[in-house]
């Protein structure tokens, strides 16, 4: 019994070992181990796996740069009747991430765009997938700085890794042409490869005010929209809920 325990402890130390590679599990299969040993093996392995998953999720959460915790459970659909709850619940199953499709959330300030976008990112993390949150302004700055420092390739590669990229607040700042070109590069790179969720207080028809060029706006919007669900929210601000 004691040997078994030491064995298990050693194996667990050795992360990345598959259970079927574990001798104890093999012995168990051949019924060489007694019942209590089997129980112990099972409990220890499951606890170790649980801890490992928790650490993975914790790491993914840190990596995601999500600014505030937002869960779909906390979203009050009755407050925002133009949102189709069924559509959101379907999107929450993350089929769109597996299909490498995008979501555009368009609507006035406070209507819940960031909340929903972050909820999708949190759901990805729950499933052990990488998600990354950034505002459009910060993304433009990050890319421009990377280019200046000769690190564009590396930064682009890092922005290709997450299964879901949330680009929040398209429309809050106007970008210069160089930044818009870099945004296009990124959107084109992720096109049909990895998902993007964009939130904007501007309808797509006004995005050229943000990107400063009709041509660039068209190619950016084209790639974002081709495989995307566009969610137009027309409603009051939740922030002003108690003052209305």
Residues in touch with ligand ADP (CB under 6 A): 70, 74-76, 79-80, 107, 109-115, 199, 238-239
| Closest residue to Mg ion, based on beta-carbon distance | 114
| Residue 114 beta carbon to Mg ion: minimum distance, rounded to whole angstroms | 3
The arrangement of strands across the sheet holding 102-106 comes to 131-135, 164-170, 195-200, 102-106, 228-232
In the list ligand ADP, Mg ion, none, the entry touching 76 (Cβ below 5 to 8 angstroms by class) is: ligand ADP
Asked whether 124 and 131 are in contact (CB, 8 A), the reply is yes
Using the rule CB under 5 A, is 64 a contact of Mg ion? no
Asked whether 105 and 228 are in contact (CB, 8 A), the reply is no
Give the residue with the Cβ less far from ligand ADP, 109 or 128.
Answer: 109
Give the residue with the Cβ less far from ligand ADP, 110 or 212.
Answer: 110
| Residue 27 beta carbon to Mg ion: minimum distance, rounded to whole angstroms | 56
| Residue 220 beta carbon to ligand ADP: minimum distance, rounded to whole angstroms | 20
Start-to-end CA distance of the chain, whole Å, equals 68
| Residue 184 beta carbon to ligand ADP: minimum distance, rounded to whole angstroms | 24
Among 102, 114, 163, 217, binds Mg ion (CB under 5 A): 114
191 Cβ contact list (under 8 Å, min separation 6): 223, 226
| Residue 38 beta carbon to Mg ion: minimum distance, rounded to whole angstroms | 52
Give the Cα separation of 39 and 100 in Å (integer). 42
Give the Cα separation of 152 and 42 in Å (integer). 47
In the list Mg ion, ligand ADP, none, the entry touching 111 (Cβ below 5 to 8 angstroms by class) is: ligand ADP
Give the residue with the Cβ less far from ligand ADP, 83 or 175.
Answer: 83
Question: What does the DSSP assignment read for 104-173?
Answer: EEE-STTSSHHHHHHHHHHHHHHTT--EEEEEHHHHHHHHHHHHHTT-HHHHHHHHHS-SEEEEEEETSS
Instruction: Catalog residues that contact Mg ion under the rule CB under 5 A.
Output: 114
């Amino acid at each position: 019994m004691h040997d078994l325990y030491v064995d298990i402890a050693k194996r667990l130390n050795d992360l990345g070992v598959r259970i079927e590679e574990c001798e104890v599990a093999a012995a168990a299969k051949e019924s060489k181990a007694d019942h209590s040993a089997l129980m112990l093996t099972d409990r220890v392995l499951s606890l170790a796996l649980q801890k490992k998953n928790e650490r993975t999720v914790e790491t993914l959460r840190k990596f995601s740069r999500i600014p505030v915790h937002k869960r779909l459970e906390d979203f009050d659909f009755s407050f925002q009747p133009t949102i189709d709850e069924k559509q959101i619940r379907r999107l929450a199953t993350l089929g769109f991430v597996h299909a490498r499709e995008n979501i555009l959330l368009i609507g006035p300030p406070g209507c819940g765009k960031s909340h929903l976008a972050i909820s999708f990112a949190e759901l990805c993390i729950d499933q052990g997938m990488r998600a990354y949150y950034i505002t459009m302004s910060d993304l433009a700055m990050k890319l421009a700085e990377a280019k200046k420092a000769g690190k564009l390739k590396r930064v682009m590669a890092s922005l290709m890794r997450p299964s879901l990229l949330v680009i929040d607040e398209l429309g809050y700042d106007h970008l210069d042409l160089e930044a818009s070109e870099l945004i296009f590069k990124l959107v084109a790179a992720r096109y049909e490869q990895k998902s993007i969720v964009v939130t904007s207080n501007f309808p797509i028809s006004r995005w050229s005010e943000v990107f400063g060029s009709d041509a660039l706006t068209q190619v950016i919007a084209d790639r974002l929209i081709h495989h995307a669900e566009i969610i137009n929210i027309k409603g009051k601000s939740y922030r002003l809920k108690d003052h209305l």
